[in-house]
Amino acid sequence: MLVGKKTRRVAIVGGVRIPFARGNGAYAQAGNQDMLTAAMRGLVDRFGLQGQRLDEVAAGAVMKHSSQWNLTRESVLGSGLAAETPGLDVQRACGTSLEAAILLGNKIALGQIQCAMAAGVDSVSDPPVVFPKSYQQLLLRSFRGKSAYRRMSPWFGLRLRHLRPVLPGLAEPRTGLSMGESVEIMVKNWGIARADQDQLAWESHRKAAAAYAAGFYDDLVRAHLGLERDDNIRTDSTLDKLAKLRPAFDASGNGTVTAGNSTPMTDGASAVLLATEEWAREHDLPVQAYLTYGKVAAVDFADGKEGLLMAPAYAVPRMLGDAHLTLQDFDYYEIHEAFAGQVLCTLKAWTDPAFCRESLGLPDILGSVDRSRLNIKGGSLAIGHPFAATGTRILATLAKILDEDKAAKRGLISICTAGGMGVSAILER
């Protein structure tokens, strides 16, 4: 469905997000639509898009109420964009907003659209609490009744158990394990030490704090509901403090995954503006970087053949094959820090000859990355992880990093997700 005779380059104009907040904190009374609208409005204000029609907006949330079936479109209508701007809801767990950007980027590349916004949001403070299926069926039997008696009779069976709320599940449906429990298995299999996990977590906080102090986030983060910066960043974090924390997911006491080297439950939203070079130029807007490649992979974690969060270890090398690049051909790496252990498992896998040969089908190891180039402005461990918002948070961050480093050529993004999936992308100058 190519429009015209050639593909277009997908320009990243820039991004905006609201500060990320720890769950049940600053945004306890906010919901997905409020936060997503705020992020969109921030992007509109930053780039002077008030009253303008974008060709498409794609966004999503992992945890949302059934009433939010048109979340993106409703948020668009409150964003300051023209009401004629279409909205599309998408969802790929923690990779949602990066997936949205890739989908929109494909449309731009094919000439179907010229400008678009990718975004994501999540609130753990406003979860979709529902009632048991037995209560649902009681209600439906009453609704279907053709007489007063048939409408009333189901209620004679009402019991207190029918009113027991069902909270959103944090465990994988196929295994019954939480993500933290799954990572415990991964780090044991890969031999990842507790000290290394704590080191990565400490570095994430240190880098994020330094980036804020240097003003890097001044134009990327817009205050919301009184919050001006991410409230999970620990400027006083030390390795000694992290080492004293107890394992959070292994009751035996032998675990190494703690609250300190895991991302906290977080609320927040982010958005990124994508366009053709021509559209950006016509609207006197900058181009920070170009979205050039994207790839998705999945692993069989349910049968124990692979770790739950190891899919990026597969997605990245396949994407590198598409781009004819090596892992070392990048100036910067943005690997989502769902858990420090998950990041370290992925990095170790890429240097393991057996894994690269047997699992990836490569003749040699993928190799290591320069850790000084990894998540240089802080990662999810420090900044937080509102599930669907992380992708465009990372996309906007890496685009600005590349824009500020005139010697840089490209950067890599890798995001693990629930359900054993991974999303990756390449940005270039």
Residues marked as catalytic: 94, 385, 416
Separation between Cα atoms, residue 250 and residue 258, nearest integer Å? 9
Question: Would you say how long the chain is, in residues?
Answer: 429
Q: Which residues pair with 379 in a beta bridge?
A: none
Give just the sign of the alpha carbon dihedral 400, 401, 406, 409.
Answer: negative
Phi and psi (nearest 5°) for 292?
-110, -30
Interacting residues of 323 by C-beta distance below 8 A, sequence separation 6+ = 292, 293, 426
Phi and psi (nearest 5°) for 70?
-125, 40
Nearest to 342 by CA among 253, 251, 257: 257
Separation between Cα atoms, residue 1 and residue 107, nearest integer Å? 9
Separation between Cα atoms, residue 335 and residue 103, nearest integer Å? 20
Separation between Cα atoms, residue 237 and residue 235, nearest integer Å? 6
**Residue 1, SS3 per DSSP:** coil
In the block, residue with structure tokens 């500020």? 404
Nearest to 56 by CA among 3, 119, 99: 119
